[in-house]
Structure 1
Amino acid sequence: MQFNLNKLTGYQSVKTIDMHTEGEPLRIILAGYPEIIGDTILAKRQYVTRHLDHLRKFLMYEPRGHADMYGALITTPCTSNADFGILFMHNEGYSSMCGHGILAVVSLAVETQAIELNNTKGYIGIDTPAGLIKAYVNEHNKTSQISFDNVPAFVELTEQVIYIEGFGDVSFDIAYGGAYYVFVDADKIAVSCSPENQQQLINLGRLIKNLVAKQYPVNHPLEQDLSFIYGTIFYSSKTTDAQSHSRHVCIFADGEVDRSPTGTGVSARVALLHHQQSVELNTPIIIESIVSSNMTVMATQPLDYHGVNAVIPRVSGRSYITGIHEFLLNKQDIFPQGFLLR
């Protein structure tokens, strides 16, 4: 049987290219969105939240996506040092920054020759809601190695305690790496960071995030729009690779499980480790994920960030294309914005 696709008329179309970075999916939107209004990247994020959120649900939710889908929308640049901007989306809304998304989009730009690598700046500049990201491409043996310098990362709170039923008093720290995370030592509370234990990690991660957010509100030193706790990161010294420093399981947004070690998460963690004098400057460490993929991160320099002691994290990881898609919406579709099942 041969289907004549030219007979398909009256559908709304959104074209994407799908990738993964260290196992974490990314759906990059190529066409189908209207113009994104706003003079700043934060204004653009507010615009898509208010006017185009139905398209986020269309692409992130089932039956076209799933509860752990993640997306990226490329925008025009908003600052003089940026080559383009990115808005990140997930099952709950829009992120302030996303490391795995940066790595994937830059990898795609290199593979498709969409951007000039040998520019006078010496880096690829990317506007994100958290700030300007500087990405670098090291081409070696026909393989492109991508890394990026994140926004300043810093520690918000350390050695705080919150009571969790069934666990008692649980110690935690809060650090920022483009987003705020609650860090919990999983080994101390006897919680396994294995794939088989993902449901307990989801439930506990959601609970900790919500409780801490209520009792310990965060205030970003520059932008109120960035002042929210994005997720909980459980870390463990039980790794599958002896070269790994630790394992991360990040539960973010509405119970999403990051398959990668989390680019913003490892950024916040290296700031925390440097603060604790556990990792020196310019010393790379490998952090693995729940599926044993890994990212490398190091704190490259200290700085005063609007009165806060911070470091610049440099993160690297691997990204791969998984497919090219054209998603269609029939006007009679009973699920025009999809649904979520966990």
Structure 2
Amino acid sequence: MAETSPAVQPIQLPPHDGSVLSVVDMHTGGEPLRVIVSGFPEVHGDSVLAKRRYIWQNLDHLRRALMFEPRGHYDMYGALIVKSELEEADLGVLFMHNQGYSTMCGHAVIALGRFAVDYGYVKAPVSPETQVNIQCPCGLVKAFVQYANGKTGRVRFHSVPAFAFATDVAVSVPGHGVVAVDIGYGGAFYAFVSAEKFGLDVNESRTRDLVDAAAAVTAAVKAQVKLHHPTSPDLAYLYGTILTDGKDAFSEEPSANVCVFADSQVDRSPTGSGVTARIALQFHKGLIPLDTTRTFQSGATGSQFTGKAVEETTCGDFKAVIVEVAGQAHYTGTASFVFEKDDTLNKGFLLK
């Protein structure tokens, strides 16, 4: 009879040298989120945006180590909890991915809402819903977490002011000619274009073909369109391109899209900040009124978020809206990652 391994509770690392980083892993609609809970050095800066600059300049090797292989993968996404400069914030957060650090991430906010309540960042949670104020690099985002009998559930959040930056912008996309795109801001800037313009379907086409088309649009917009944001130059960059099913007019049926962001990273969820920007664009075009809920579906996994414009506002000279996005996050596990000193692959690697 084969010997059985002795049960070890909890599982511990054997003797080793090197530092350890501990994480809680979650996903929202299939899109991963690795929340770093201990072992990360102090991140300096008098604001979350300043902390974003500091980590990029001084601690980026840890992003690569946790997001890249062998501990992560090409499409891994992460969040580091930091102290906020805002008194009303329960926590600050820095988002990270395969290219750097984003200014907003809706799927992460949905997951962090649950995480913040479950891990004690909010004292005395209340039923049926507990508010969690999360300071993102783009600004303060208010999450509302279902809470009953000590258990967290679905999360909705209210965005920073979201707006249509430009519509029907003609960009020359190599291999595809001149393509008209919309550009919206939902905490980050996205270009939006129907996949049909490339002979593709967000629900049926190969992911590789969708990625190639979206990446070509992103490169063209970056080269041909100058973005600006009224409050900070740190926010004035194109995060990615969202290919849609072209169903922008309001319908009770879900509208599908696929977001390709950062270095051709594919969002498995409907993309929370993308839904925010898409609602802002549809409101700008008169396609959806206030307080009207629309469902958006990931062409990659079929998971769904809902979105609606809940309040008109402004952002500098732009007419803007506050958008409510809702979805469900789930836990997938916890891990403690060791960085042994003689491991030549500690800095991580990616296979493209």
- When normalised by structure 1's length, the TM-score is 0.93
Q: Does 1:197 align with 2:217?
A: no
Task: Please report how far the alpha carbon of residue 90 of structure 1 lies from its aligned counterpart in structure 2 after TM superposition.
Answer: 0.2
The equivalent of 1:278 in structure 2 is 287
Per-residue CA shift, 1:116-151, capped at 9, x if unaligned? 2349xx732111110011111233686622111010
Instruction: Tell me the CA shift for residue 48 of structure 1.
Output: 0.7
Is 2:146 aligned against 1:138?
yes
Equivalent pair of 1:103/1:146 in contact (CA under 8 Å): yes
1:300 aligned to which of 310, 317, 322: 310
The CA distance in 2 between the partners of 1:313 and 1:63, in whole Å, is 37
Does 1:115 pair with 2:122?
yes
Per-residue deviation, residues 46-95 of structure 1 (Å, max 9, x unmatched)? 11111110000000001111110000000112112111100000000000
Matched residue, 2:192: 183
Q: Which residue of 2 aligns with 1:9?
A: 16
| Paired amino acid for 2:332 | T
Percent identity over the alignment is 41
In structure 1, give the amino acid aligned to 2:239: Y
2:265 aligned to 256, 259, 271, which one? 256
Q: Equivalent residue for 1:27?
A: 34
CA distance in 2 between counterparts of 1:181 and 1:165 reads 19
Number of equivalent positions: 338
Deviation (angstroms), 1:6: 6.1
Query: Residue 158 of structure 1 corresponds to which residue in structure 2?
Result: 167
**Other-structure match for 1:77:** 84
The one of 61, 80, 95 aligned to 1:88: 95
Alpha-carbon displacement from aligned partner over 1:272-323 (angstroms, at most 9, x marks no partner): 0001111111101000002110100100011122221000001110000001
**RMSD value, Cα:** 2.1
Amino acid at match of 2:140: L
Distance change >3 Å, CA 183–CA 237, structure 1 → 2: closer
> Cα offset for 1:153?
0.4
Q: Is the 8 A contact 2:114 2:152 kept in 1?
A: no
CA distance in 2, matches of 1:125, 1:109: 10
Once structures 1 and 2 are overlaid, which stretch shifts more, 317-326 or 6-15? 6-15
Matched residue, 1:234: 243
- Equivalent AA in structure 1 for residue 147 of structure 2: E
In the alignment, the residues of structure 1 paired with residue 27 and residue 97 of structure 2 have an alpha-carbon distance, to the nearest angstrom, of 14
Matching residue's letter, 2:342? Q
Distance 1:143 1:58 in 2: 30
| 1:168/1:34 CA distance change after superposition, 3 Å | same
Q: Deviations over 1:203-240 (max 9, x none)?
A: 121111111111101000110001100000001058xx
TM-superposed CA distance for 1:255, in Å, is: 0.3
Give the superposition deviation at 1:168.
2.6
For residue 266 of structure 1, report the CA deviation from its aligned partner: 0.3
In 2, Cα distance between the equivalents of 1:332 and 1:112? Answer: 34
SS across alignment from 1:207: helix
Q: What amino acid sits opposite 2:244 in the alignment?
A: Y
Match of 1:102 among 84, 109, 129: 109
- Cα deviation for residue 115 of structure 1 reads 1.6
Q: Is the 8 A contact 2:154 2:329 kept in 1?
A: no
Separation in structure 2 between the aligned mates of residue 188 and residue 286 of structure 1, nearest angstrom: 23
AA of the residue aligned to 1:228: Y
1:337 aligns with 2:347: yes
Distance, in Å, in 2 between the alignment partners of 1:190 and 1:7 is 53
- Identify the range of structure 1 (31-40 vs 18-27) with the bigger mean alpha-carbon deviation: 31-40
Amino acid of the structure 1 residue aligned with 2:137: P
Q: Secondary structure at the match of 2:196?
A: coil
3-state DSSP of counterpart to 1:56: helix
Contact 2:291 2:309 in 1 (8 A): yes
Q: 1:269 to 1:40 in 2, by over 3 A?
A: same
- TM, length-normalised to structure 2: 0.91
1:42 corresponding residue in structure 2: 49
Which amino acid in the other structure matches residue 270 of structure 2? Answer: P
Distance 1:6 1:301, change over 3 A: closer
Tell whether the 8 Å contact from 1:150 to 1:312 is kept in structure 2 after alignment. Answer: yes
Shift of 1:189: 3.3
Residues 230-272 of structure 1, C-alpha deviations (whole Å, 9 max, x = no match): 000001058xxx9543111000000000000101000000000
**Counterpart of 2:67 in structure 1: which amino acid?**
M
Aligned to 2:72: 65
Work out the CA distance in 1 between the residues paired with 2:253 and 2:351: 34
Instruction: Please list every run of at least 4 consecutive aligned residues from structure 1 whose deviation after the TM superposition is greater than 4 angstroms.
Output: 1-7, 140-143
CA distance in 2, matches of 1:17, 1:195: 33
Is residue 134 of structure 2 the alignment partner of residue 126 of structure 1? Answer: yes
Contact 2:106 2:273 in 1 (8 A): yes
Paired residue type of 2:145: V
Matched, 1:53 2:73: no
Q: Structure 2: where are the runs of 5+ without partners?
A: none
Distance 2:14 2:164 in 1: 57
Return the letter of the residue paired with 2:165: E
* Distance (whole Å) between structure 2 residues aligned to residue 10 and residue 22 of structure 1: 37
Residues 226/233 of structure 1: CA separation in 2 closer, same or farther (3 Å cut): same
